Amino acid sequence: METTTPNSGNLGTMGSSGTGAGGTGMGKMNPAQAADRAHTTVDRVAQGAHDTVDRLASKAGPALDRARNAAADAQTTLYSKYDDFMAMEEEWAESARDQIRAHPLAIVGVALLAGVLIGKLSS
């Protein structure tokens, strides 16, 4: 690849144009033509980038909305299940209190038996 020297006006072999090896032989470009060509290329690349970003944004927006809705639905379900679990826990606790009140001696015997078993297992 040729290198550009100051004041030579030769941009070397950039892409498919230029005068170096592999060039099309269009001759030397003056600095104004080279700047205009570079400006056009930059504009084309920038427009392509804008189009790509717009296309990605149009696809990502609905996907983000679906994910947001799914997360909101999951949150609602979790809160509902939590409320159900807390109600069930309260029912079990009330049932245990009722059994303890109805059969206090049996509960003391079960607690004594559990203590003896734990003592045997730990020694």
Q: Convert the pLDDT of each residue in 24-74 to its tens digit.
A: 445 677 888 888 899 999 999 999 999 999 888 888 888 889 999 999 999
pTM for the model stands at: 0.42
Among 14-23, 62-71, 90-99, 109-118, name the one with the lowest average pLDDT: 14-23
Please give the full DSSP string across 17-85, using - where no structure is assigned: BSSSTT-----PPPHHHHHHHHHHHHHHHHHHHHHHHHHHHHHHHHHHHHHHHHHHHHHHHHHHHHHHH
φ/ψ bin of 9: left (φ > 0), alpha (ψ from -120 to 50), beta (otherwise):
left
Contact 11, 1 (CB under 8 A): no
